[in-house]
């Protein structure tokens, strides 16, 4: 099979077993074939654009649930299985892989979530693949198959190769199988939401953290073109009684902060949550900023100064308790790039970092998607050289770093 | 790979002078009697006297010492409090030990953002003590927490009784400053979540001091739970207790901790602490739930019911915080308490899938009977992390050897059950040979490639984690208690 993309010819292969994947990668050693590894393709703009490749490896046929052990609350899954498919299978046993990434409806796969580290709002309670993947089988560029971890949630034997591949964006090799820790599907949810400015949301988030209730997510959402205030949304998952009680406590707390909270419980809660926190639709650049949580009002203020002075509009979704912000821009391309560049400066000044995800075909000029290399760059380069000495996997993904 | 093949020259007097110039004379220990203090960690059967011990006070001093070692090809081993149970801080002959005990500074407490940055020699318990006025605490709680250091916790990815709900060290470390084996200083993770790129922080945590020396640690702090509910349930058999654990897990209850003691462990703990465990019970579970009042109360009622459904013969709920503390003191001093019922013992640290608890405990009993030895079990049942204690008497000829064989057979049983050779004590020097039981040659080769990236000269804690013919030919001596453990000050589970 071949396909022609960006004027370039490359083999497309979709192995259905680890052994097949190993043979495909090993066959390219002599010619140093460069390889793109892709899961569901739901996050094409993450990392820098790849250099031309010779082989496009797809995990679409690595899509089987290998073992589900409900009693142990673990499952091993081939990397190309879409998260949405896995959740359906697990739900039959009242369990789920506790991830709610925005890309789930767009085909995000289990392996892709490990390779990117993407997670959704409820990571506040459950963590990301970094916390939920307890083992993985990977295939290096030379065809070597290596496994780490197992079906136990506690394990310190050997190096944690699973974590090494977390966030690797295909640059170290193929993730072929993942063992994940599961959680019981919560029987009920409750949501509290209130209009709040960035500063109010930040203060309220801190109050919520100390109030004794254990939210699964705390998000602040401000849509482009919406009033200056955004919406703070707090979610609880658990038994009906405890989520109602927790939501009530947080509502009281928000009232005391002069906000006007509304509580949604019962069957409407999950639907309401999805509506409140739906990701911004396809637009231009997507900026992902991270900093200490209390830097959030300053970052939003910097964004507002930049957008006020340009034709760019921005929607913001913040995981306020974690200090993570997804900012989706719209407007003239060059102006978007200028806002992104300037906001990166403001975020870095606040001790954080900002990465840029661009949609296909978006020419953002010299804007560096990855940002300045961290002090660990030489180590990353050495690890890359050990695992992929010919630089075959995802060439250019970490351009400017390694 | 081991020190044999890279054969470092014995330390020259000039090298010692250089280190003294870097650290001051009081920062370098060379007296043979003082060096003996550092010859082992909590795995006291393995002993090697180092050529020198240095006691730096800052990242810069550590970096300067490591750079000098790299230049002279001298191996070095980092050491915290020396409470590790796998020989991870076992010195290398002709190498130096870099003791981090003087690096005890609190560098930053950011209560608003629930994080603290400390030097590696700060103890685990000290972090929670400093955070307490802000209503915060550090969640991982190894049984040695009042003595063990956060640097050692990072090296071993330490767990503890309350890791079932909250996760392990690796889930609570936000950032590190690492001196790499060439003496460079690198920051991993830190001020913001989700740094781009492969997760080196996640590899360094739990790498047992083989990838560099951690000189600053930024940890996540949690708000103290508003409610804590504890019960002790007695059972007629270990199988019934294991059934209750499975019941809890499948009911979706995630307690903060689920600990199990069998009859021998109960006897030992009662003799040592009088914590109130029932001497006639075959097994006891300590179940602790914490968190939001309403959900904690609900889950507590459910947990109590599940214990009864699985045949609990008695359920005790501590009347106050003092009684609860006594129960935990009993549990956490369980290893030290073994001295009350046996002159010697080996402690094992294996993990099994939680559904295999009952049958693996049965198999351990069969193995023990076949070996003519007693095994006490006290462990983190909620996450399947077993700590079988193989009891023996070193004065009886051949018993130490039989006990050690039994301990190895037990951990291999764990691997066969789909588990792991270590849940929290680490591989270190102790279990390097068992790595081959758990990992394929290719798995190990890839791990070695990662090690090569960090430490191409194999100077940083060489001879640990990876199996080598030299190590695997050696047999450890019998277990001897750490002095603090013997005194009942610290535990080891």
CA distance B8 to chain A (A): 25
Contact B192 A292 (CB under 8 A): yes
Cβ contacts below 8 Å, chain A against chain B, sum to 258
Over residues B173-229, the pLDDT tens digits come to 999 999 999 999 999 998 899 999 999 999 999 999 999 999 999 999 999 999 999
Q: Does B209 lie at the interface with A, CB-CB under 8 angstroms? A: no
pLDDT of amino acid A194: 97
Percent of all residues in chain B with a pLDDT value above 90, rounded to a whole number: 84
Lowest mean pLDDT among A274-278, A332-336, B125-129, B313-317: A274-278
In this predicted structure, the answer to whether residue A279 has a pLDDT above a threshold of 80 is no
Over residues B54-76, the pLDDT tens digits come to 999 999 999 999 999 999 999 99
Those residues whose C-beta lies under 8 Å from the C-beta of residue B441, and which sit 6 or more positions away, are none
Percent of all residues in chain B with a pLDDT value above 70, rounded to a whole number: 93
- Average pLDDT on A348-374 reads 89
User: What is the model's pTM?
Assistant: 0.94
Cα–Cα dist A236/A270, whole Å = 10
pLDDT of amino acid B484: 60
Cα–Cα dist B218/B397, whole Å = 49
Over residues B377-403, the pLDDT tens digits come to 999 999 999 999 999 999 999 999 999
pLDDT of amino acid B471: 64
CA distance B355 to chain A (A): 6
CA distance A361 to chain B (A): 22
Q: Does A73 lie at the interface with B, CB-CB under 8 angstroms? A: yes
CA distance B453 to chain A (A): 5
Please list every residue in chain B whose beta carbon sits closer than 8 Å to the beta carbon of residue A155.
351, 419-420, 422-423
pLDDT of amino acid B487: 59
Percent of all residues in chain A with a pLDDT value above 90, rounded to a whole number: 89
- Average pLDDT on A12-17 reads 97
- Band (pLDDT 50/70/90 cuts) for residue A280 is confident
Q: Does B436 lie at the interface with A, CB-CB under 8 angstroms? A: no
Cα–Cα dist A63/A65, whole Å = 7
State the CB neighbour count (10 A cutoff) for residue B441: 8
- Average pLDDT on A279-299 reads 91
Q: Does B88 lie at the interface with A, CB-CB under 8 angstroms? A: no
Q: Does A65 lie at the interface with B, CB-CB under 8 angstroms? A: no
Q: What is the mean pLDDT of chain A?
A: 94
Over residues B269-296, the pLDDT tens digits come to 999 999 999 999 999 999 999 999 999 9
For A48, counting Cβ atoms within 10 Å of its Cβ (0-12 exposed, 13-18 middle, 19+ buried), the class is buried
What is the ipTM score, two decimals?
A: 0.96
Q: What is the DSSP letter of B10?
A: P
pLDDT of amino acid A283: 75
The answer to whether residues B75 and B8 touch, using CB atoms and an 8 Å cutoff, is yes
pLDDT of amino acid B7: 41
In this predicted structure, the answer to whether residue A107 has a pLDDT above a threshold of 70 is yes
Lowest mean pLDDT among A168-172, B154-158, B422-426, B469-473: B469-473
- Band (pLDDT 50/70/90 cuts) for residue A191 is very high
- Average pLDDT on B294-299 reads 94
pLDDT of amino acid B478: 44
In this predicted structure, the answer to whether residue A367 has a pLDDT above a threshold of 60 is yes
The answer to whether residues B378 and B493 touch, using CB atoms and an 8 Å cutoff, is yes
pLDDT of amino acid B249: 84
Q: Are strands A286-290 and A353-357 parallel, antiparallel or unpaired?
A: antiparallel
């Amino acid at each position: 099979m071949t396909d022609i993309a960006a004027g370039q010819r490359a083999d497309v292969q979709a192995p259905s077993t680890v052994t097949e994947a190993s043979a495909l990668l090993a066959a390219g050693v002599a010619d140093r074939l460069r390889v793109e590894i892709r899961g569901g393709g739901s996050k094409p703009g993450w990392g820098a654009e790849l250099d031309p490749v010779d082989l496009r490896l797809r995990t679409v046929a690595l899509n089987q649930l290998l073992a589900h052990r409900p009693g142990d609350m673990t499952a091993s899954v081939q990397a190309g299985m879409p998260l949405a498919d896995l959740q359906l299978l697990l739900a039959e046993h009242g369990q789920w892989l506790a991830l709610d990434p925005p890309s789930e409806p767009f085909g995000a796969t289990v392996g892709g979530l490990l390779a990117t580290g993407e997670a959704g709002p409820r990571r506040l309670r459950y963590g990301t693949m970094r916390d939920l993947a307890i083992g993985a089988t990977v295939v290096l560029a030379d065809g070597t198959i290596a496994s780490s971890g197992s079906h136990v949630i506690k394990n310190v034997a050997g190096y944690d190769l699973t974590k090494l591949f977390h966030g690797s964006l295909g640059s170290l090799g193929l993730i072929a199988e993942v063992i994940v820790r599961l959680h019981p599907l919560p029987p009920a949810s409750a949501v509290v939401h209130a209009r709040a400015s960035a500063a109010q949301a930040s203060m309220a988030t801190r109050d919520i953290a100390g109030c004794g209730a254990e939210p699964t997510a705390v998000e602040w959402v401000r849509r482009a073109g919406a009033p200056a205030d955004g919406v703070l949304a707090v979610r609880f998952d658990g038994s009906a009684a405890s989520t109602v009680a927790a939501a009530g406590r947080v509502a009281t707390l928000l009232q005391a902060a002069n906000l006007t909270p509304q509580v949604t419980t019962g069957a409407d809660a999950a639907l309401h949550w999805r509506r409140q926190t739906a990701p911004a639709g396809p637009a231009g650049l997507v900026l992902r900023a991270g900093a200490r949580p209390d830097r959030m009002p300053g970052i939003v203020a910097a964004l507002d100064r930049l957008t006020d002075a340009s034709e760019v509009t921005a929607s913001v979704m913040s995981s306020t308790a974690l200090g993570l912000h997804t900012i989706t821009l719209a407007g003239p391309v060059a102006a978007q790039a200028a806002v992104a560049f300037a906001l990166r400066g403001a975020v870095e000044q606040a001790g954080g970092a900002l990465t840029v995800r661009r949609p296909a075909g978006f020419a953002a000029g010299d804007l560096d998607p990855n940002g300045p290399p961290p002090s660990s760059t030489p180590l990353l380069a050495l690890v890359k050289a050990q695992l992929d000495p010919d630089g075959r996997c995802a060439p250019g993904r970490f351009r400017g770093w390694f | 790979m081991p020190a044999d093949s890279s054969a470092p020259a014995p330390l020259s007097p000039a090298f010692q002078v250089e280190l003294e110039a870097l650290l001051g004379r009081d920062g370098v220990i060379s007296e043979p009697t003082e060096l003996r203090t550092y010859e082992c960690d909590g795995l006291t059967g393995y002993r090697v006297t180092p050529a020198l011990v240095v006691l730096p006070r800052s990242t810069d001093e550590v970096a300067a010492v490591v750079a000098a070692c790299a230049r002279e090809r001298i191996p070095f081993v980092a050491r915290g409090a020396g409470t590790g149970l796998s020989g991870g801080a076992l010195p290398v002959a002709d190498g130096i030990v870099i003791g981090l005990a003087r690096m005890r500074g609190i560098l930053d407490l950011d209560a608003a953002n629930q994080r603290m940055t400390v030097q590696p020699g700060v103890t685990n318990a000290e972090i929670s003590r400093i955070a307490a006025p802000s209503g915060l605490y550090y969640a991982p709680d190894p049984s040695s927490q009042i003595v063990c250091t956060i640097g050692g916790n990072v090296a071993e990815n330490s767990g503890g009784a309350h890791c079932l709900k909250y996760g392990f060290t690796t889930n609570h470390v936000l950032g590190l400053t690492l001196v790499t084996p060439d003496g460079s200083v690198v920051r991993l993770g830190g001020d913001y979540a989700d740094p781009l790129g492969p997760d080196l922080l996640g590899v360094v945590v739990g790498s047992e001091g083989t990838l560099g020396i951690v000189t600053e640690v930024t940890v996540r702090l949690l708000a103290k739970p508003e409610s804590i509910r504890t019960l002790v349930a007695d059972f007629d058999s270990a199988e019934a207790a294991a059934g209750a654990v499975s019941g809890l897990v499948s009911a979706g209850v995630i307690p903060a901790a689920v600990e199990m003691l069998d009859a021998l462990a109960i006897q030992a703990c009662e003799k040592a602490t009088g914590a109130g465990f029932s001497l006639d019970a075959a097994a006891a579970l300590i179940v602790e739930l914490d968190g939001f009042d309403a959900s904690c109360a609900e889950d507590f009622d459910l947990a109590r019911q599940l214990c009864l459904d699985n045949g609990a013969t008695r359920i005790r709920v501590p009347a106050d915080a003092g009684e609860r503390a006594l129960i935990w003191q009993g549990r956490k001093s369980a290893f030290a308490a073994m001295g009350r019922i046996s002159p010697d013992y080996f402690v094992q640290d294996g993990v099994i899938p939680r559904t295999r608890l009952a049958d693996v405990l049965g198999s351990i009993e069969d193995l023990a009977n076949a070996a003519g030895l007693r095994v006490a079990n006290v462990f983190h049942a909620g996450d399947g992390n077993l700590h079988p204690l193989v009891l023996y008497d070193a004065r009886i000829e051949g018993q130490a050897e039989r006990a050690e064989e039994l301990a190895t057979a037990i951990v291999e049983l764990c691997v066969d059950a789909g588990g792991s050779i270590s849940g929290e004590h680490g591989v270190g020097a102790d279990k390097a040979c068992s790595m081959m039981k758990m990992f394929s040659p290719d798995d190990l080769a890839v791990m070695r490639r990662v090690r090569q990236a960090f430490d191409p000269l194999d100077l940083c804690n060489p001879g640990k984690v990876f199996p080598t013919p030299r190590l695997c030919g050696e047999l450890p001596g019998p277990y001897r208690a750490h002095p603090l453990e013997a005194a009942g000050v610290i535990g080891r589970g």
